[in-house]
Amino acid sequence: MTKANLFIVSDSVGETAQKVISAALAQFPNVSDTDIKRYPFIDNKDDLTQILADALKEKAIVVATLVNKELVATLTDFSRRTGLDYVDYMSPLIDLVQSKTGEIPKEEPGALHKLNEEYFNRVSAIEFAIKYDDGKDPRGFAQSDFVVLGISRTSKTPLSMYLANKSYKVSNLPLIPEVPLPKELYDVPAEKLIGLTADPERILRIRKSRLHSLGLNDSSQYANLDRICEEVDYAEKIFKELGAKIVKVDDRAVEESAAIIEGLKANY
């Protein structure tokens, strides 16, 4: 088994580096043994030098998201002298932007996470998604950037919350053949309607897993393939009737589905 040791060093929270590392390690399925240590809010050369020395001792890769030039210089100099392996995710791009624009960077750690208008818009969107989740109040459809439709276990709520984290106001509605659609749905412009669908066999597996996790028997209609096929057919009929854009979620991460939906928005 191959092991990967990584040190995340940041003068902020280190979240950016964590996301990039996760994406990179996903390309190495055989590297299942990883030791990732995060060192956030590093603001002086002495602390940074000690962390780098520990990384060298442990033969770790240092992943840095530092914006302070003195700290970046310390990292670069230490690595040049010792042969420490490191990746600097911030400095090259900052330098390129500076050279192209002529603007001087603020070198302000955590600038991305400041409580600005974008932050409050995101919080508002998350609150909106919670309030109008699962068809709780159809009156929210009129205020939504997207209304997500689909039968049970097509990832309506996770997708709504992910889009909310990107400041979109999203409501969602479960489609059940025996339950009439709310009249408010027919007033939503078709380009804002997103229909989620998946292969019935996949939905069956997810529903059975859900029932097992709750300690319930999977012999109910909820986990019956014929019933699921009926639900899928009903949902796709509704999508066609309303003119909803259809997104297949089979083996697709929430992030991928969200990217497709954002692409649809860009076209209207």
Q: Is 210 known as a binding-site position?
A: no
Indicate whether this model's pTM tops 0.75.
no
Q: Would the CATH topology of 3-113 be identical to that of 117-266?
A: yes
Q: For residues 77 and 90, give the distance between their C-alpha atoms in angstroms, rounded to a whole number.
A: 17
57-78 tens-digit pLDDT: 999 999 999 989 999 999 999 9
> Is 74 annotated as belonging to a binding site?
no
3-state secondary structure 10-22: ECCCCHHHHHHHH
- Report the half-sphere exposure of 88 (CA within 13 A, side-chain side): 19
Q: Distance between CA atoms of 173 and 259, rounded to whole angstroms?
A: 20
CA distances to 41, 125, 158, 190 from 167, in Å: 27, 5, 14, 21
Nearest to residue 162, comparing CAs of 255, 260, 252, 23? Answer: 255
Structure confidence at residue 118 (pLDDT): 79
- Of 174, 185, 179, the residue nearest 139 (C-alpha): 185
42 is in an annotated binding site: no
What's the token pair of residue 120?
Answer: 């409050």
Q: Strand, coil or helix: what is 215?
A: coil
Integer Cα distance of 259 and 160 in angstroms: 12
CATH of domain 3-113: 3.40.50.2300
Q: Is 213 annotated as a binding residue?
A: no
Which segments of the chain have a pLDDT < 70?
1-2, 110-116, 266-268
- The residue ranges of every structural domain in the chain are 3-113, 117-266
Is 136 annotated for ligand binding? no
155 is in an annotated binding site: yes
pLDDT digits (tens, 9 = 90+) for 90-141: 888 888 998 989 988 887 776 665 556 777 888 899 999 999 999 999 999 9
Residue among 88, 223, 91, 228 at smallest CA distance from 150: 228
Domain 117-266 has CATH 1.10.10: no
Q: Is 91 annotated as a binding residue?
A: no
